[in-house]
Amino acid sequence: MNARYDCFCKLSDLLGAQASLSEARRHLHRFPELSFQEKSTAQWVADQLEGWGY
């Protein structure tokens, strides 16, 4: 595989995370915010990333 694409994964690699990814999508659509006013969304994403070690 070309080193340029090493950071990408295959769809099959995500099957184990399907439930949590679906819940994340539901959460983001459950609490919509206006463009450029996504304060709660930004905080939620930051919390998720921190929880994942980023």
Which residue ranges make up each domain of the chain? 14-30+38-54
CA distance 30 to 21: 14
Sequence-distant (≥ 6) Cβ neighbours of residue 44 within 8 angstroms: 27, 28
Contact 41, 31 (CB under 8 A): yes
- The pLDDT tens digits for 17-37 are 899 999 999 999 999 999 999
Q: Which residue is it, tokens 């949590």?
A: 20
pLDDT band with cut points at 50, 70 and 90 for residue 10: confident
Contact 31, 43 (CB under 8 A): no
CA distance 9 to 33: 30
pTM of the model: 0.66
